[in-house]
Amino acid sequence: MTLLSKSLKALAIILSLILSAGSALIALDAQNLSQGGINVTDQGSTTTETTVDLYLVINVKNTGYFFDIYDVNLTIVIVDQDGRIYDRDMKIIPKILVGGSQNIRLDVSIPIDVAISWQNGTIKLFAKLYFVFWFSKYDYKLMKFGIAAKTELTSGG
Protein backbone atom coordinates (compact mmCIF):
# COMPACT_ATOMS: atom_id res chain seq x y z
CA MET A 1 0.00 0.00 0.00
CA THR A 2 1.50 3.36 -1.01
CA LEU A 3 1.86 6.34 1.29
CA LEU A 4 -0.76 8.26 -0.72
CA SER A 5 -3.18 5.36 -0.56
CA LYS A 6 -2.59 5.01 3.19
CA SER A 7 -3.09 8.76 3.77
CA LEU A 8 -6.34 8.82 1.78
CA LYS A 9 -7.64 5.80 3.67
CA ALA A 10 -6.69 7.41 7.00
CA LEU A 11 -8.44 10.65 6.01
CA ALA A 12 -11.58 8.70 5.06
CA ILE A 13 -11.52 6.91 8.42
CA ILE A 14 -11.03 10.20 10.31
CA LEU A 15 -14.02 11.76 8.50
CA SER A 16 -16.21 8.75 9.36
CA LEU A 17 -15.06 8.90 12.98
CA ILE A 18 -15.91 12.63 13.23
CA LEU A 19 -19.38 11.89 11.88
CA SER A 20 -19.89 9.01 14.32
CA ALA A 21 -18.65 11.15 17.23
CA GLY A 22 -21.05 13.95 16.23
CA SER A 23 -23.98 11.52 16.07
CA ALA A 24 -23.09 10.14 19.50
CA LEU A 25 -22.86 13.68 20.96
CA ILE A 26 -26.27 14.67 19.57
CA ALA A 27 -27.82 11.45 20.91
CA LEU A 28 -26.21 12.03 24.33
CA ASP A 29 -27.37 15.66 24.54
CA ALA A 30 -30.90 14.72 23.39
CA GLN A 31 -31.07 12.00 26.03
CA ASN A 32 -29.86 14.38 28.77
CA LEU A 33 -32.38 17.02 27.75
CA SER A 34 -35.26 14.55 27.71
CA GLN A 35 -34.33 13.13 31.13
CA GLY A 36 -34.06 16.30 33.16
CA GLY A 37 -34.04 19.33 30.92
CA ILE A 38 -37.72 20.24 30.92
CA ASN A 39 -39.58 20.61 34.22
CA VAL A 40 -42.87 22.18 35.20
CA THR A 41 -41.94 24.35 38.19
CA ASP A 42 -45.26 26.04 38.86
CA GLN A 43 -48.86 25.89 37.71
CA GLY A 44 -52.16 27.27 38.88
CA SER A 45 -55.44 28.90 38.02
CA THR A 46 -57.55 31.91 38.95
CA THR A 47 -61.21 32.48 38.22
CA THR A 48 -62.68 35.80 37.17
CA GLU A 49 -66.27 36.68 36.25
CA THR A 50 -65.81 35.76 32.60
CA THR A 51 -62.81 33.45 32.43
CA VAL A 52 -60.73 30.81 34.14
CA ASP A 53 -57.06 31.75 33.75
CA LEU A 54 -54.48 28.98 33.81
CA TYR A 55 -50.73 29.41 33.95
CA LEU A 56 -47.80 27.09 33.65
CA VAL A 57 -44.14 27.85 34.41
CA ILE A 58 -41.69 25.56 32.66
CA ASN A 59 -37.97 25.51 33.35
CA VAL A 60 -35.90 24.60 30.31
CA LYS A 61 -32.34 23.68 31.19
CA ASN A 62 -29.73 22.80 28.62
CA THR A 63 -28.32 19.74 30.37
CA GLY A 64 -26.28 18.72 27.34
CA TYR A 65 -22.48 18.51 27.15
CA PHE A 66 -21.77 20.00 23.76
CA PHE A 67 -24.65 21.56 21.83
CA ASP A 68 -26.42 24.86 22.54
CA ILE A 69 -30.14 24.97 21.93
CA TYR A 70 -31.52 27.72 19.69
CA ASP A 71 -34.98 29.03 18.82
CA VAL A 72 -36.70 27.28 21.72
CA ASN A 73 -40.42 27.47 21.06
CA LEU A 74 -42.89 26.49 23.76
CA THR A 75 -46.55 26.51 22.84
CA ILE A 76 -49.62 25.50 24.79
CA VAL A 77 -53.02 24.97 23.19
CA ILE A 78 -56.24 24.25 25.06
CA VAL A 79 -58.61 22.04 23.06
CA ASP A 80 -61.69 19.95 23.75
CA GLN A 81 -62.39 16.37 22.66
CA ASP A 82 -63.63 17.62 19.26
CA GLY A 83 -60.45 19.56 18.59
CA ARG A 84 -62.05 22.99 19.19
CA ILE A 85 -59.33 25.43 20.23
CA TYR A 86 -60.13 27.75 23.17
CA ASP A 87 -56.83 29.50 23.70
CA ARG A 88 -53.13 29.27 23.01
CA ASP A 89 -49.92 30.88 24.13
CA MET A 90 -46.45 30.75 22.66
CA LYS A 91 -43.03 31.86 23.89
CA ILE A 92 -39.74 31.85 22.01
CA ILE A 93 -36.27 31.93 23.53
CA PRO A 94 -33.51 32.66 21.02
CA LYS A 95 -30.69 30.78 22.72
CA ILE A 96 -29.90 28.60 25.77
CA LEU A 97 -26.20 27.86 26.04
CA VAL A 98 -24.78 24.63 27.50
CA GLY A 99 -25.52 24.60 31.24
CA GLY A 100 -27.90 27.56 30.99
CA SER A 101 -31.56 27.55 31.95
CA GLN A 102 -34.62 29.70 31.45
CA ASN A 103 -38.07 29.89 33.00
CA ILE A 104 -40.94 30.22 30.57
CA ARG A 105 -44.44 31.20 31.66
CA LEU A 106 -47.41 30.28 29.51
CA ASP A 107 -50.86 31.78 30.14
CA VAL A 108 -54.19 30.63 28.76
CA SER A 109 -57.81 31.54 29.46
CA ILE A 110 -60.97 29.49 29.15
CA PRO A 111 -64.41 31.18 28.91
CA ILE A 112 -66.38 30.66 32.11
CA ASP A 113 -69.25 28.79 30.40
CA VAL A 114 -66.73 26.32 28.91
CA ALA A 115 -65.13 25.93 32.32
CA ILE A 116 -68.55 25.16 33.86
CA SER A 117 -69.26 22.53 31.19
CA TRP A 118 -65.82 21.08 31.89
CA GLN A 119 -66.51 20.98 35.66
CA ASN A 120 -69.86 19.25 34.99
CA GLY A 121 -68.13 16.68 32.81
CA THR A 122 -70.07 17.70 29.68
CA ILE A 123 -66.84 18.31 27.81
CA LYS A 124 -63.26 17.14 28.21
CA LEU A 125 -60.40 19.63 27.97
CA PHE A 126 -56.89 18.82 26.87
CA ALA A 127 -53.63 20.75 27.00
CA LYS A 128 -51.38 20.25 24.02
CA LEU A 129 -47.81 21.27 24.71
CA TYR A 130 -45.31 21.77 21.91
CA PHE A 131 -41.58 22.06 22.54
CA VAL A 132 -39.48 22.78 19.47
CA PHE A 133 -35.75 23.60 19.40
CA TRP A 134 -32.58 23.38 17.31
CA PHE A 135 -29.37 21.69 18.41
CA SER A 136 -26.69 24.18 17.36
CA LYS A 137 -23.01 24.89 17.64
CA TYR A 138 -21.10 28.04 16.65
CA ASP A 139 -24.37 29.56 15.35
CA TYR A 140 -24.92 26.64 12.95
CA LYS A 141 -28.32 25.04 13.42
CA LEU A 142 -27.72 21.34 12.97
CA MET A 143 -30.86 19.44 13.84
CA LYS A 144 -34.39 20.37 14.90
CA PHE A 145 -36.43 18.44 17.42
CA GLY A 146 -40.12 18.96 18.02
CA ILE A 147 -41.95 17.26 20.86
CA ALA A 148 -45.72 17.40 21.27
CA ALA A 149 -47.62 15.99 24.22
CA LYS A 150 -51.34 15.96 24.95
CA THR A 151 -52.73 15.58 28.46
CA GLU A 152 -56.26 15.75 29.74
CA LEU A 153 -56.99 18.59 32.15
CA THR A 154 -58.64 17.37 35.31
CA SER A 155 -61.10 19.70 36.98
CA GLY A 156 -59.50 21.69 39.74
CA GLY A 157 -56.06 21.35 38.11
Cβ closer to other proteins: 84 or 150? Answer: 150
Nearest to 112 by CA among 19, 50, 32: 50
Cβ closer to other proteins: 16 or 103? Answer: 16
Considering only CA atoms, give the Rg of the chain.
22
- Sheet (strand 51-61) strand order: 38-47, 51-61, 101-111
Identify the residue among 27, 92, 116, 143 touching other proteins (CB under 8 A). 143
Inter-residue contact 128 to 88 (CB < 8 Å): no
- Least distance between other proteins and beta carbon 121 (Å): 19
Return the SS3 of 28. Answer: helix
- Least distance between other proteins and beta carbon 2 (Å): 4
Identify the residue among 140, 154, 156, 157 touching other proteins (CB under 8 A). 140
Residues that bind other proteins (CB under 8 A): 1-2, 4-6, 8-9, 11-12, 15-16, 18-19, 22, 26, 132, 134, 140-151
